[in-house]
Chain A
Amino acid sequence: ITPARFDREKVFRVKLQDEKQANIIKDLAKTNELDFWYPDDPHHITANMTVDFRVSEKETQSIQSALDQNEMHYEILIHDLQEEVEKQFDVKED
């Protein structure tokens, strides 16, 4: 099995303002393959929480549009996950 790669995958951080926004993220989780980094699981999402989740390249566009349309506060923590996976090994072998 070839190892998974994460080219151009992104990690979003969304600061939820209210219950409506919490439900938007929960709905997005039902129709997209979001990997929640914090909280561990979309069921734990509540208003006024900061949520981190990983999005595949193909779903980034639609997710970002949904966040923009709903005027949600977000930042992209990681722009290309594969790059970060490779960059984590930043200490040379002894």
Chain B
Amino acid sequence: VPGRHSYRKYNNWERIVAWTEKMVNKHPEMVSRIQIGSTVEDNPLYVLKIGKENERRKAIFMDCGIHAREWVSPAFCQWFVYQATKTYGRNKIMTKLLDRMNFYVLPVFNVDGYIWSWTQNRMWRKNRSKNRNSNCIGTDLNRNFNASWDSFPDTNNPCWETYRGPAPESEKETKAVTDFIRSHLKSIKVYITFHSYSQMLLFPYGYTSKLPPNHEDLAKMAKIGTEALSTRYETRYIYGSIQSTIYPTSGSSLDWAYDLGIEHTFAFELRDKGKFGFLLPESRIKSTCKETMLAVKFIAKYILRHTS
């Protein structure tokens, strides 16, 4: 796939790595790149830190691309970094956010799977780790977190798309992310993970029908976030807890981050609702990213105002 990086197109991993370097070079005062680990196939896991040096400020951690075939998700993380650097000093809200917060952005969580979805199988979902005693490849990284990890028997087969792995955090990718978040826990006030598709804004829990202590706050934020999103193109999102809105899931990053103590954790299921599914045309990337920015900026503003 020749050509250079474009925010209006899907970019393969090679282009995304080059883009991270370009962003650091172009905005050294605002963007730094941290390698938080590497994948099963030894690809680097990069987090871009957006904001000023001060580590003690409130921070938001965002990850994209945990499921390989959900390509619009990494496209959003790239768009977010682009907008943050482009509109700082021009857009009042973004300037205020970046003057007082940091954003940690993991553009592609499941790098090996993402590469595989570009080179071998567009429909691939899991990572690319080998499973002992099985010919089936891969673990679903979003079932590999230590959050009621083994509570559902249907995640225990390496040949299934939602295989949870041999143990919680068994995957190098998962461990790199959990170690980074644990070591920055004092500053991280929000965890947001981006998936597709279905047009939903979800919050804990997935592994239980129990309501999180601050579920009213989460529901209010999700409601206003979906309303903010729809102001752009009237795209309708639904919102709610994972368990009540879609179905019970164990081992998810969202529940793990919440139980770790990050009181505001959300999962976006980006466009669309099934007409294209995972194959959202590139011509819809920009509008999907623009409307999602409105929801993310609302969440960040809310946290700035309502957390100590």
Contact = CB atoms under 8 A, between A and B. Distances in A.
B43 interface: no
B166 interface: no
Interface of A: 1, 3-4, 6, 11, 13, 35-41, 43-44, 46, 49, 52, 54, 77-78, 81, 84-85, 87-91, 93-94
Nearest to A49: B247
A49 B152 CA distance: 20
Given A1-B120, A6-B123, A84-B279, A43 B274 contact: no
B10 interface: yes
A46 B103 CA distance: 38
Interface residues of B, number: 38
Contact of A38 (B10, B160, B198): B198
A35 B277 contact: no
A3 B123 CA distance: 11
Contacts of B3: 93-94
A25 to B, nearest CB: 14
Contact of B277 (A1, A77, A91): A77
A11 B283 contact: no
Contacts of B279: 78, 81, 84-85, 87-88
B274 A46 contact: no
A90 B154 contact: no
29 contacts: A1-B120, A4-B121, A6-B122, A11-B277, A37-B197, A37-B277, A38-B197, A39-B246, A39-B247, A40-B125, A40-B162, A41-B154, A41-B161, A44-B249, A78-B277, A78-B279, A81-B279, A87-B281, A88-B10, A88-B71, A88-B276, A88-B280, A88-B282, A89-B9, A89-B10, A91-B8, A91-B9, A91-B282, A91-B283
A41 B205 CA distance: 18
Nearest to B9: A91
A4 B10 contact: no
